Chain A
Amino acid sequence: MYITGKTRLAAVAIAGTFLLAACGSDGGSSAGTSASGSSSTDCVAGSIKASGSSAQKNAMAEWINGYQSACSGATIDYQANGSGAGIKDFINKQTAFAGSDSALKEQDKTDADARCAAGPAIDIPMVGGAIVMAYNVSGVEKLILTPDVIAGIFNGSITKWNDSKITGINPGVTLPDATIAAFHRSDSSGTTDNFTKFLGKTASSVWTTPNAKDWPTAIKSGQGAKGSDGVTSSVKSTANSIGYMELSFAQDAKLPTAWVDNGGGAVEATSENAATTIAAATVTGSGNDLALSIDYTTKTGYPVVLVTYEITCEKGGDAALVPLTKSFLTYTSGDAAQGKLTELGYVPITGDLLTKVRTAVSSITA
C-alpha cells in the first residue's frame, strides 16, 4: 500500500515545484549593469517584462527591436494585453512598467503607489496617437466633419450620408442617399474612451453619454467590431460606412479620413497636426507624474488624439530591474525613437512636454 502513498507524495511534490516556479518569476531578472553600448544608447544588460496598452504595441515592438539590437545583452518583453491588464500586472509586481492609454485612476494610483515601496508611481506620456474617422463612400475625396456631426453619426441621430447637416459643411461634395453604417469598437478600448471624451467635450449638446472604455450601451444604433483591425476591415468591406480607429490602421488600409473642423477651419488628420494638440496639453499630475489633460477644443491642431503612458515607479521599483527600465525609457524618449513614431502612424511627443518626459525618466531611481 505504501507505493500508492509514495506516488501521491511524488505527484504533490511535482505540482508544488511547478507552483513555486510560477510564483518565482517576479517580472524577470536583471543581471547587473554593463555599459557595452556601441551607439549613443546607454546600454544595460538584463531582462524586464512589461505589459499593457495594445495601442502602443507597434511602437513598442519597433523600440524594443532598436534597443535590443543596440544593446546585445538586453531583453525586453512587452505583452500587449490591454491597459487594464497591464496596470494589474504592474500592481501585482509581474512587470517593471505598464503601458496604458489613460493615466492612473484614483484607486489604481493608490495601489500602484503602494507597489512602489519608496515612492509614487508616475505616468510618463511616451506615445501619442490620432483617432481618425475613416470612411468608405465612393467618390468622396475630402470629407469635413464637425464634432456635432460626428456625434450625430455615431449616436444614430444622423442616419443618411446626404443629411443636410453633412452636406451643409461639405459644399461641392456629392454624398449618396444611403444609410450610414457606423462602426464602433465592441471590445473595451482606450480608443473608445478618448473618442467619447472628445465628443463629450466638443459636442455636449448632441453627445450626452459619459466617456468610457465601453461603447455606451444606451446607443442602440451602429455596429460593433472587435479591435481596431475589426473596425478597419468592416469599414473597408462595407459601402457607405464610417468608423473610428487609430491613424496607422487607416493608413495601412488606405482608407480616406475625415478632416475635423473645431470652429477654426478644417484640420487634416495627420501625425503632425495631432502632435500640435498633444504638445499643448496641460499636465495635471504633480511632480514627475505627467498625467495630461488634452484640450479637445483646440482650433490649431487635429483635436481627436490619445496619449499612451508608461507607468512605472519613480522611486522604489525592484532594484534589479530599475537600471534597464530607466535605460530603455531614456531610449524611447530620445529623438531617434520619437522620430520613428510618425512613420509608424503614431504621434510623437514634442516641445516642452518632451523635456518634461525626459526629466521624469531621469528621476527614476531604485
Chain B
Amino acid sequence: MSTTLEPPGTPAPPAAATGIKGASVRRGDRVFVGLSRGAGILILVTMAAIAVFLIWKAIPSLQANTANFFTTTDWTPDAQPAYFGIAALVFGTVMTAIIAMLLAVPVGIGIALFIAHYASKRLASTLGFVTDLLAAVPSIIFGMWGIQFLTPQLQGFMQWLTTYFGWIPIFSNDLGIYTRSIMIAGIVLAIMVLPTISAITREVFVQTPRAHIEAALALGATRWEMVRMSIFPFARPGMISASMLGLGRALGETIAVALLLSATYDINWHITEPGGITFAANIALKWNEAGNIGLSALIASGLVLFVITLAVNMAARLIIARRSEFSGAN
C-alpha cells in the first residue's frame, strides 16, 4: 500500500499543508478518504464476520441433529439425541410477517398519501410527527401493550371472525380460545412497521414532479385519478422498498413477538388459535437456558433468518435498481 512508501515521521509536503495547490494532495482530504473507505470496508468485514461466525457455530448442532433440519417442527436440541428443525419457525415467522404486511402496507400508504397530498399543511406536519413517533416506541412496549391491552380488546373481533368467516379454514377456531395467536402477533407487528412504511412512502410521494401532477389535473383527472396516474407510477419503487424495509423489521422482531406468541412448535393454520413461534422469538426464549447443542441450534436458526432477511433486502434492491429512473432521486 502506498502509505508505507514514506518513512514515518516525514513532514507533509508544504503544498499539501498550506492547501493552496491541487485538492488531491490535501491532508484533510486524504484522511477523510481513508476514513470513509475504512467505514465502507468495515461494514463488509462485519457482514462477512457475522456470516462466518453463524456458520462456524451452527456446524456442531447440524452434525448432532437426528431430524431433518428443514422439515421438522419440534425443537429439542438439548435432548438425547438432538432433534430439531425450523419448519415451525419458518411458518410462524412468515405467517406473522404476511399478516403484518397485509395490514400495514395499505394503511401505511394511505397515511402517507393523506399526509403528502390531502391533509392541510398543519395537520400534515402533526400527523407526520405522530407516525414518526410511533417508530420511536421500544418494541417491548408494543409487546406489553399487545398482551395486556390489545389482546383482551380483540377477543370480540376474533370471535366475530370465527363466527362469520370460520368457513375459511384459517379463521376457524376449534378451541374457543383466541389469545396468544399468530393473528394478534401479526396485528401488533403491523402497527410496529407502519411508521417505517408511511415515512418512506411519504418522502417519495412529495417528490412527485409538480409537472406530472398538473398534467394529470389539466387532463381533467379527479384527485384520485391523478394519484393513480402520476403519483403511484412515480413512487412505486419507493413504495416497494418501504414495504421491504417494513418486512425486514417484521421478520426480525424479537421481544414483542416473544411476549405475544404462545410458542407452540407446530404448523397450525388456524391463525386465531394460541400458537406460533418465530425465529427471533425462539432465540430470545431459549437462549439463556440452552446447552451447548441448544445454543448451536439457535445459531443455526439465526443463520436461516440471516439468509431470509438478506434475500428480502436484496430483492428490494433489485426492484429499485431496475426502476432507477423512477427512484425519486431526480
Contact = CB atoms under 8 A, between A and B. Distances in A.
A167 B288 CA distance: 40
A83 B76 CA distance: 18
A5 B8 CA distance: 9
A225 B75 contact: no
B258 interface: yes
Interface string B257-291: 01101111110100000110000000011111111
Given A82-B289, A84-B289, A217-B75, A5 B30 contact: no
Contacts of A212: 76, 78-79
B76 A7 contact: no
B110 interface: no
B34 interface: yes
B8 A223 contact: no
Contacts of A188: 285-286, 288-290
Q: Which 9 A-B pairs have the closest CB atoms?
A: A82-B288, A188-B289, A186-B263, A224-B263, A4-B34, A217-B265, A187-B285, A5-B3, A84-B289
Contacts of A234: 147, 179
A218 B264 CA distance: 9
Contacts of A214: 75-76, 78, 286
Interface in A212-252: 212-215, 217-218, 220-226, 230, 233-234, 237-238
B285 A226 contact: yes
B125 interface: no
A1 interface: yes
B314 interface: no
Contacts of A60: none
B288 A224 contact: no
B236 interface: no
Contacts of B79: 210, 212
Given A1-B30, A214-B76, A220 B6 contact: no
B176 A179 contact: yes
B18 interface: no
B292 interface: yes
Contacts of A38: none
B219 interface: no
Contacts of A11: 38
Contacts of A221: 175
A233 B289 contact: no
Contacts of A222: 262, 274
Contacts of B211: none
Interface string A259-298: 0000000000000000000000000000000000000000
Given A214-B75, A217-B74, A224 B289 contact: no
Interface string B7-26: 11110100000000000000
Contacts of B263: 186-187, 215, 224
Interface of B: 2-10, 12, 27, 30-31, 34-35, 38, 73-76, 78-79, 147-148, 152, 175-177, 179-180, 258-259, 261-266, 268, 274-275, 284-292, 294
Contact of B292 (A6, A107, A186): A107
A186 B258 contact: yes
A83 B290 CA distance: 9
A2 B152 CA distance: 65
Interface of B, secondary structure class, is loop
Contacts of A226: 258-259, 285
Nearest to A105: B291
B285 A2 contact: no
Contacts of B31: 3-4, 7
B286 A187 contact: yes
Most chain B CB within 10 A, of A190, A226, A238, is at A226
Contact of B180 (A85, A217, A223): A223
A85 B3 contact: no
Given A7-B31, A188-B289, A224 B264 contact: yes
6 contacts: A1-B3, A4-B3, A8-B38, A107-B291, A181-B179, A226-B258
A204 interface: no
Interface of A: 1-8, 11, 81-85, 107, 179, 181, 186-190, 210, 212-215, 217-218, 220-226, 230, 233-234, 237-238
Contacts, number: 118
A225 B289 CA distance: 16
Given A84-B290, A186-B258, A212-B76, A225 B180 contact: yes
A238 B7 CA distance: 75
A189 B289 contact: yes
Nearest to B84: A217
B152 A3 contact: no
A7 B289 contact: no
A85 B5 CA distance: 50
Contact of A220 (B176, B264, B287, B294): B264
Given A83-B289, A84-B289, A223-B177, A230 B259 contact: yes
A107 B2 CA distance: 53
Nearest to B10: A2
Given A5-B3, A223-B177, 17 more contacts: A2-B9, A4-B34, A11-B38, A84-B289, A85-B288, A179-B176, A186-B263, A187-B289, A188-B289, A214-B76, A217-B76, A217-B266, A218-B74, A224-B261, A225-B180, A225-B262, A233-B148
B274 A237 contact: no
Nearest to A218: B74
A108 to B, nearest CB: 8
A3 B12 contact: yes
Contact of B30 (A4, A187, A220): A4
Given A3-B30, A186-B258, A224 B3 contact: no
Contacts of A233: 147-148
A226 B34 CA distance: 47
Nearest to A81: B288
Contacts of A190: 289
A1 B33 CA distance: 11
A226 B294 CA distance: 18
Contacts of A85: 287-289
Contacts of A5: 3-4, 8
Contacts of B292: 107
A1 B259 contact: no
A222 B177 CA distance: 10
B78 to A, nearest CB: 8
A193 to B, nearest CB: 9
